[in-house]
């Protein structure tokens, strides 16, 4: 369990550094720390996914479910932002997070 949280801390550090690099390279303006949903449907889909995640915690290990939740949420955000706001390029942030969380999930499953 301790290894999981250390790996999460490393993944968050890499993700933050990558976001700063992408922000400078592509000129992405990320205003504020709070996420702005593309549409009301997008917002409610994320709320439903959160409810499903909370209920599934009683059936599956927390580590796997946490990573899967982040992966699914970020994939949804990539899809919605790429289709409805491609000029903002915000989806690039989520692509980095999905790749890091997927690599982390694969690593944890192999242990």
Tens-digit pLDDT profile for residues 43-92: 999 999 999 999 999 999 888 888 889 899 999 999 999 999 888 888 88
Q: Whole-model pTM above 0.85? A: no
Written in H, E and C, the secondary structure of the chain is CHHHHHHHHHHHHHHHHHHHHHHHHHCCCCCCCCCCCCCHHHHHHHHHHHHHHHHHCCCCCHHHHHHHHHHHHHHHHHHHHHHHCHHHCCHHHHHHHHHHHHHHHHHHHHC
């Amino acid at each position: 369990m301790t290894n999981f949280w250390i790996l999460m801390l490393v993944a968050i550090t890499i993700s933050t550094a990558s976001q700063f690099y992408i922000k400078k390279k592509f000129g992405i303006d990320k205003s504020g720390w709070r996420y702005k949903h593309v549409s009301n449907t997008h917002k409610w889909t994320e709320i439903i996914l959160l409810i499903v995640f909370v209920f599934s915690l009683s059936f599956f290990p927390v580590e796997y479910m946490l990573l899967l939740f982040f992966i699914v949420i970020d994939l949804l955000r990539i899809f919605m932002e790429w289709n409805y706001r491609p000029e903002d390029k915000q989806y690039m942030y989520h692509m980095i997070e999905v790749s890091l969380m997927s690599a982390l999930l694969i690593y944890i499953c192999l242990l």
